[in-house]
Amino acid sequence: MRFGVRKTAHVFERVGLAMAGAACGLFVGAYVGSAISSLTTQGFLLVMMVLGFIGFYLGIDTPQMPFDDAHNAIDAAEFLSSAGTLCATLTALASVAVIVLRLDPHINFAWLALLGWSAGVAMQIVAGAKARMRK
């Protein structure tokens, strides 16, 4: 019984993180879509949200490599996960700031936001897949 409750709590936590990723994707998509007219579509927003959902679901809670002194290797999945999370959330924070503060940055900032978000969630997805394949 306790195992089932712990497993359910873990799934709830991961789905909550995934929904936070989807919200971050919505913010980045809303900003980038408003700055780059060719990306002002519902499909673009949906893709950004789905990428955030998948990236945050897979990449935030990666299983760690067993730690012992014999294996002094860097855990690439853990590093990619943390770097991807930082990159994606920093991009989302910057996008929210632009929207809320009604700033009008140069168009290159929108392209940078799109690149930062894409790189961040890509790192999370790769890290999550890599960590789960070594189990």
The helix/strand/coil state of 68 is strand
Q: Give the number of C-alpha atoms closer than 13 A to the C-alpha of residue 122, restricted to the C-beta side.
A: 6
Domain count of the chain? 1
List, for residues 64-92, the tens digit of each pLDDT value.
776 665 566 777 888 899 999 999 999 99
Q: What is the DSSP string of 15-62?
A: HHHHHHHHHHHHHHHHHHHHHSGGG-SHHHHHHHHHHHHHHHHHHSSP
| Domain hosting residue 124, numbered range | 2-133
Q: What is the average pLDDT across 3-24?
A: 90
List, for residues 90-127, the tens digit of each pLDDT value.
999 999 999 999 999 999 999 999 999 999 999 999 99
Predicted confidence at residue 134, as pLDDT, reads 74
